[in-house]
Amino acid sequence: MKSVATLMMAAFTILSVSVYAQDTTKQNVAKQENEITTYVCPMHPDVIMDKSGKCPKCGTTLSPKEKMKREVVGLYECPAHPGETSDKPATCPKCGEKMNLSPKEKMKMEVMKTYTCPMHPDVASDKSGKCPKCGMKLTEMKQTEISYSCTEHPDVVNDKPGTCPKCSKNLTLSPKEKMKMEVMKIYTCSMHPNVKSDKPGKCPNCGMELKAKNK
């Protein structure tokens, strides 16, 4: 009996250790999946990549800088169960209802809206209103609108860079695209790439002016 009890205790101990090891492994895997290592050039801190390699400016081997947390973004969520989210259109696993854009994404879509005048394409605004040139009501531009236009001839538009067929000037980003670029800008320190801000300012580490770059 004593030997049987000893064997049972040993089996229970082994089982407990095995379960603990599995849980620890799952936690470590989840932690690793939620982290990303960035690689930077020691000579050019502004060169940042998500994998090892060589600096395109000087050829120096990039070194791992730090592990950054991946932001888990729930683009869609269930109106009845806000805790149920997805990064793509889906149905709620609890109630089967179709997921809607999350409040965060709706706010982002509102920020990205641009209104223009049908008669004056160079007039752009981030909110509805009237054209300051002719008084017409501004209309919302669709996401599929052309990206490039001529500053001299607003009616000349294209979906890629080029020259105006009327005056041969280079086409520039449309007002909508310029506004989008402004919204997407982040500011970083050239000496401390981990310092990021959504507005201009100075680096808290060294006092250098933050430089704009696109997200």
Whether the Cβ atoms of residue 158 and residue 141 lie closer than 8 Å to each other: no
Average pLDDT over residues 160-171: 86
- Alpha-carbon gap, residue 215 to 210, rounded angstroms: 14
Q: How far apart are the first and last CA of the chain?
A: 69
For the chain, what are the domain ranges? Answer: 37-70, 72-111
pLDDT of the residue at 109:
54
Confidence at residue 192, expressed as pLDDT on a 0 to 100 scale: 83
Backbone angles phi, psi at 84, to 5 degrees: -90, 110
| Contact residues for 84 (Cβ-Cβ < 8 A; gap 6+) | 77, 78, 92, 93, 94, 99
Amino acid symbol at 31? K
Average pLDDT over residues 152-181: 76
Residues 6+ away with beta carbon under 8 Å from 128: 115, 137, 138, 140
Give the C-alpha separation, 52 to 60, whole Å.
11
- Indicate the pLDDT class of residue 67, thresholds 50, 70 and 90: very low
Where is average pLDDT lowest: 4-8, 22-26, 77-81?
22-26
Q: Does the pLDDT of residue 108 top 60, yes or no?
A: no
Average the pLDDT over 106-126 and give the result: 66
